[in-house]
Amino acid sequence: MFQKKENRPFLIAGPCSAESEEQVLATARGLKDLGIDLFRSGVWKPRTRPGAFEGNGTMALPWLRLVKQETGLKTTIEVANGNQVYEALKHGVDVLWVGARSTVNPFSVQEIADALKGVDIPVLVKNPVNPDLDLWIGAIERIRNAGVTNIGAIHRGFSSYAKSKFRNAPYWEIPIELRRRMPELPLICDNSHICGNREDLLEVAQQALDLNYDGLMTEVHPTPDAAWSDAKQQITPFVYAELVASLIVRRETTDNAEFLENIENLRHKIDEIDLELLNLLSRRMRVAEDIGRYKLRNNIAILQAVRWNEILEKGFVQGRQRGLNDEFIEKFLAAVHNESITHQQAVMHPAVEKEV
């Protein structure tokens, strides 16, 4: 159900929270003609600190039924426990989603899964707040084991203590790895909760489409500045329409023979370079082992902080000259350096190596 269409992503839009019948209907009316696939709204809101608006709860569910009756839009809400699943089903909600703060907790996910047994309603599972792919996959498996056949994943970014322009760091490598491990699973980007602001919404949405995501979930509110939750990241239906119109949807593949031949040649070059890289890395590890033996003979410690800093600093300078960014250089050299240490440890403690 959540797969992208020929030239358009699967679109989920609606307010962060259902504040009143008027606000919910005004948003839905604004979105009706834009061809969205699903109307979202939070009914029970998991707020970080007490005292904030925690949602209107069950009282808001009839408003979503009105949305369906008046606009024909299907609806989706977040559920965080068995009772909320029961209430949502009773009020005819079409799709449920598991929020980031629930995915993180297998007890909650299992309770939701148990409440879904025998009810094959589509379910979307947001990534957990922490960057843990197995926890995300585990939640998807629990929902699937309950007999739900229509499941999708929502990437909404990850909490991080580090300061960043994002509210929730995207760590794109995590959804990319999810795609590799579950290639059939539809993947949707919640650009609103990744960004936490309005300015970067289009950039993040386009990044997701460039990575072949199936859809987008975006928070839309008739008067965003006055929203009772997540005011900074919500946009009006008009701005949302502009965002959707600016998106470029890439094709997955083509049968153009010239393209296929050229891409084949380029991929061949990449394969050759990858092989060269592996040969170089292998040579580097042999030298690291020589160093390990030499240090052993002279009783010298493996880790030399000054030398490691020197490698890194030189790497940054030389990397920049070659168009490589510092973040990548740091990750790459740290991985290589760690592996060199492992090789040196192996020559210093051959017995330990043999035991494992």
Site residues (vs ligand PEP, CB under 6 A): 16, 42, 46, 78, 99-101, 126, 156, 190, 193
| Stretch in the footprint of Mn ion (CB under 5 A) among 101-109, 156-164, 229-237, 324-332 | 229-237
Q: Which two tokens stand for residue 346?
A: 């192996």
Q: How far is the CB of 3 from ligand PEP (least distance, A)?
A: 21
Q: How far is the CB of 190 from ligand PEP (least distance, A)?
A: 6
C-beta separation of 31 from 13 below 8 A: yes
Q: Rank residues 19 and 230 by Cβ distance to Mn ion and give the closer one.
A: 230
- For position 111 contacting Mn ion by CB under 5 A, the verdict is no
Q: How far is the CB of 219 from Mn ion (least distance, A)?
A: 6
Q: Rank residues 99 and 319 by Cβ distance to ligand PEP and give the closer one.
A: 99
Q: Which does 100 bind (CB under 5 to 8 A by kind): ligand PEP, Mn ion, none?
A: ligand PEP
Q: Rank residues 69 and 83 by Cβ distance to ligand PEP and give the closer one.
A: 83
C-beta separation of 233 from 193 below 8 A: yes
Secondary structure (DSSP) of 104-170 = T-HHHHHHHHHHHTT----EEEEPPSSS-HHHHHHHHHHHHHTT---EEEEE--B--SS--SSSSB-
Q: Which does 62 bind (CB under 5 to 8 A by kind): ligand PEP, Mn ion, none?
A: none
Q: How far is the CB of 339 from Mn ion (least distance, A)?
A: 42
* Among residues 11, 13, 16, 61, the one that binds Mn ion under rule CB under 5 A: 16
C-beta separation of 106 from 142 below 8 A: yes
Q: Rank residues 187 and 195 by Cβ distance to Mn ion and give the closer one.
A: 195
C-beta separation of 242 from 58 below 8 A: no
- For position 43 contacting Mn ion by CB under 5 A, the verdict is no
Q: How far is the CB of 156 from ligand PEP (least distance, A)?
A: 4
Q: Residue 335, class by beta-carbon neighbours within 10 Å (0-12 exposed, 13-18 middle, 19+ buried)?
A: exposed
Q: How far is the CB of 345 from ligand PEP (least distance, A)?
A: 41
Q: Rank residues 91 and 156 by Cβ distance to ligand PEP and give the closer one.
A: 156
Secondary structure (DSSP) of 257-276 = HHHHHHHHHHHHHHHHHHHH
Q: Which does 8 bind (CB under 5 to 8 A by kind): ligand PEP, Mn ion, none?
A: none
Q: Which two tokens stand for residue 285?
A: 């590890």
Q: Residue 248, class by beta-carbon neighbours within 10 Å (0-12 exposed, 13-18 middle, 19+ buried)?
A: exposed
Q: Rank residues 148 and 228 by Cβ distance to ligand PEP and give the closer one.
A: 228
- For position 230 contacting Mn ion by CB under 5 A, the verdict is yes
Q: Which two tokens stand for residue 130?
A: 């922490």
Binding mask 176-215 for Mn ion (x = CB under 5 A): ----------------------------------------
C-beta separation of 98 from 129 below 8 A: no
- What backbone torsions phi and psi does residue 11 show, to the nearest 5 degrees? -110, 125
Residues that bind Mn ion (CB under 5 A): 16, 230
